[in-house]
Structure 1
Amino acid sequence: MAADHPSTPPAGPVMAVSAPDNRPAELVLAGQIGTGSLRELEEHLAAPPLREATDWGVDMSEVTHFDLACAYALLRAATLRPKPATLRIHGARRAVQRTLRHAGLDAVAVFEE
């Protein structure tokens, strides 16, 4: 476990969408997000709070593994939108960032620590 992430995230995937008043919509992910959870991820990404947001984020601070297929799903959600939106990726570990960059998300998202 990396020193900058001392808590123990769940092994299985955890996903939740929040859209607090006057704040950007956010998808919170935790654990291992792989091809087995791709359909659930796509359903969350298609949820109205994210689909309709012009500014949205993904909190990945508790993600220990993110599959390339899931990274492509995130890329599709960011690029195939009815209107342009700003996407921010929060707290992704180095290995997860590599996967996201490999999928091309660095071209459409801002990575934040």
Structure 2
Amino acid sequence: MASDPQPTARAHRPTLAITEAGSRRAVLAVSGRLDSTTLGELEGRLADPRLLGAHEVVLEMDGLDHLDLACAYALLRAATGRPENAVLTVRGADRTVLRTLHSVGLDAVAVIEE
């Protein structure tokens, strides 16, 4: 009997919620799983005017279970596309997510709080 793929897909859907938005600081809370199937959703959220207009963007990743390279590169593009004096900060990422972030070089253009 074939199993329904829907419950599994829903269980791994990420949450990408802007929990704070202002001109000085915006916070994007990320949880679940970020992979090639959610890349478009991540890129769309990163292009949100509330994030683009903030001096500092904080990515709260304490609920993130998985981050693939495609999504890590999307974060790198978002960080390098920000104005020169703007800051991108990553908080709460677990060891495997940190390894992926370091492998794409995000640590060179963002503050990563371990």
Superposition TM-score, scaled by structure 2 size = 0.82
- Identity score, percent: 48
Q: Does 1:93 align with 2:94?
A: yes
- Bigger proportion of residues as helix: 2
Cα offsets for 1:53-97 (capped at 9, x unmatched): 111110000001001100100111111124531111010000000
Distance, in Å, in 2 between the alignment partners of 1:84 and 1:103 is 21
Paired AA for residue 36 in structure 1:
T
Checking the alignment, whether the CA contact within 8 Å between 1:18 and 1:49 is kept in structure 2 is: no
Aligned-partner SS, 1:19? strand
Alignment of 1:60-99 (within 5 A): 60-99=61-100
Point out where structure 2 has 5 or more consecutive residues left out of the alignment. Answer: 1-10
Distance, in Å, in 2 between the alignment partners of 1:102 and 1:68 is 9
Q: CA RMSD in A?
A: 1.7
Q: Does 1:52 align with 2:56?
A: no
What residue number does 2:103 align with?
102
Distance, in Å, in 2 between the alignment partners of 1:84 and 1:42 is 21
Point out where structure 1 has 5 or more consecutive residues left out of the alignment. Answer: 1-9
Distance, in Å, in 2 between the alignment partners of 1:96 and 1:83 is 25
Superposition TM-score, scaled by structure 1 size = 0.83
Max Rg structure: 2
What residue number does 2:7 align with?
none
Corresponding residue pairs, total:
104
Shift of 1:19: 3.0
